[in-house]
Chain A
């Protein structure tokens, strides 16, 4: 940080005496953002989530196809440090008992059966980032065949923790990629609308109002229903994301339009025009950067809607489908009440949805408040 003593000029050329230093716009935004405690915590949560997304094969104790038919719908285990056989990180194994009438299997923790747990243990082989072959996992049983299910298992006998980790990659990235797609549409149409005004503005605004007046989920459902059931999961993922984006761009376009509208008559725009800059250059080199922090805030605030929509669609069976795994797909497991009543841990993916949505909201709110550091 370059701190100079005495009053100095800020980038806008205003004499500032309160803080005798110069700081760039981004640094001012950062200072303002830091004051928002909740937003800061949320930003850390999101950073952690990004790490999980990038390193998900490493973070997950088991591979995405791992299935243990011996332990279906087994309850979560507790990590322990001490047992009769001495010190060391471990979990208790299971004893199972089958009800003779309902055939339902119940599991109990069995302190006799100690499953040693370690960090950076050898497990299933995978390719990190898709090209680095490796077999270490952040946490896992020292003997890869032992059961270590910290968040319990699904009705199929898959490790819920691992599945949630893989689902995070899918669900969060649907939100992020979808918003980026929506953002391209929103920024181009919003810019044209706000910058040129006139009939183009009118037409675009009417279209936006139209799209906004149609309830979104039935629309999404309608489009998603047309996709063939046997579609390859990757194609389906991209099409679902695109469908979500096609409905969600309107809010962003409005935000962008408002900004362009208010900047249109500013002197720096006029001077750029007099210098002979093209419209495209004025819009995207001169005007857009001056409110990029607002755009980032708006982006962050639109991701939750996207994530919630994907979760609802997939849960209804109209979005992503197994073998693709997202939070919504996982929650399908919990929607039979006979299963759910005995296995509340199946709702953990729902907690992840709430946590991530809240985090994006708080970061977005914090950014929005901090976006204009000269306001006060």
Chain B
């Protein structure tokens, strides 16, 4: 187990380094660098920077020197917790991101739990009652859910909410509760706001998971050992619980890797429409105005969260399934 853990952790580190390279490229793609953009901005505002200011800034951001030195400067700053400065907000990136990171992770985490909570029973039902009306309904809704972009679901939601209730529930809390301390009323208010982003962000994930669970369980249910156990008179429920369900749970864990990015991406799109205090809208704004330190940092954080999620799922899988832990491949 320890060597498995070591291998996965080393792999995660390599992935993070590679991602940081890609993010560095993205930050440097737009023409000009941070300081030239800032100088231009100040010139427009009529307060030119002195040569000494500019030189100081260039040293501060490590912009002189070759590409490798620049990369190294940027990475070491990040490791020390300095993500650079936002051009738009003129504040350290960490200050802009900080307050929103919690909301992003919170919304994603709750959505993940709900996604699992819904997908598991639906997937199992759909597999056990294969070709029943319920199964057909689930499969149809699943296909639709996978084929519909989540911003479209959000738009449809908004349309019905405006025509029926005359308003759009936006943000994560109502104005009267936003600043109050935590109590039951605030919690209920939060839940009242949370269910819409959850449905919008989670639909794709639920549809994908249900499909995977259904397929896996169906594969398992037709194995000879199931037939053998049934022939010996093991009751259906016990039979299902004893082995097939446990095996079908494996991919459930391994999906953390892709469900998490899917939720975070859903947040980019949905946060925009519903006005959520999350990272998505900030990322979009930063990309639009080519505020690249901010955009790069957010992409880096989203990717890092994904990679860590994958690591957790790998470790859980290794713990659940000795074949994976020992590196034994099937077939």
Contact = CB atoms under 8 A, between A and B. Distances in A.
B109 interface: no
A218 B15 contact: no
Nearest to A350: B152
Interface in B151-175: 151-152, 155-156, 158-159, 162-163, 168
A215 B261 contact: yes
A218 B30 contact: no
Q: For this complex, into which size category does the number of interface residues on chain A fall?
A: 35 or more
B29 A226 contact: yes
A102 to B, nearest CB: 14
Interface in B243-290: 257, 261-262, 264-265, 268-269, 272-273, 283-284, 287-288, 290
A317 B285 CA distance: 11
Contacts of A209: 15
B147 A358 contact: yes
Contacts of B265: 215-218
Interface in A25-66: none
A352 to B, nearest CB: 11
Interface stretch (A78-86, A119-127, A330-338): A330-338
A226 B272 CA distance: 21
Interface in A308-338: 308, 311-312, 315-318, 331, 334-335, 337
Given A218-B283, A350-B152, A358 B143 contact: yes
Given A218-B283, A222-B296, A347-B159, A312 B302 contact: no
Nearest to B28: A226
A133 B274 CA distance: 47
Interface string A217-242: 11101111110100000000000000
A218 B288 contact: no
B122 interface: no
Q: Which of B19, B151, B264, B303 has the most CB of A within 10 A?
A: B151
B299 A337 contact: no
A226 B296 CA distance: 12
A140 interface: no
A337 B146 CA distance: 24
Task: Give the dominant DSSP class at A's interface.
Answer: helix
Interface string B129-155: 000000000000001101111011001
A361 interface: yes
A331 B148 CA distance: 13
B317 interface: no
Contacts of A24: none
A358 B144 contact: yes
Given A213-B307, A225-B287, A347-B152, A337 B22 contact: no
Interface in A287-314: 304, 308, 311-312
A316 B272 contact: yes
Given A226-B26, A226-B30, A335-B155, A353 B149 contact: yes
Contacts of A144: none
Contact of A225 (B158, B290, B306): B290
A10 interface: no
Contacts of B156: 347
A200 B307 CA distance: 24
Contacts of B147: 304, 308, 353-354, 357-358, 361
Contacts of B143: 358, 361
Contacts of A358: 143-144, 147
Contacts of A214: 19, 22, 261, 303, 306
A354 B152 contact: yes
A103 interface: no
Contacts of A357: 147
A344 interface: yes
A350 B149 contact: yes
A209 B257 CA distance: 11
B33 to A, nearest CB: 13
B290 A222 contact: no
A217 B192 CA distance: 28
B162 A225 contact: no
A238 to B, nearest CB: 17
A211 to B, nearest CB: 9
A340 interface: yes
A340 B155 contact: yes
A217 B268 contact: yes
A218 B299 contact: yes
Given A226-B26, A312-B149, A354-B148, A215 B303 contact: yes
A308 B149 contact: yes
Given A222-B299, A312-B269, A341 B159 contact: yes
A215 B152 contact: no
A226 B257 CA distance: 28
17 contacts: A213-B303, A213-B306, A214-B19, A215-B261, A215-B264, A217-B265, A218-B298, A222-B29, A225-B290, A316-B268, A331-B151, A337-B158, A337-B159, A341-B159, A347-B156, A350-B152, A358-B147
Given A222-B295, A337-B162, 8 more contacts: A213-B307, A215-B265, A215-B306, A217-B268, A218-B302, A223-B29, A316-B272, A358-B144
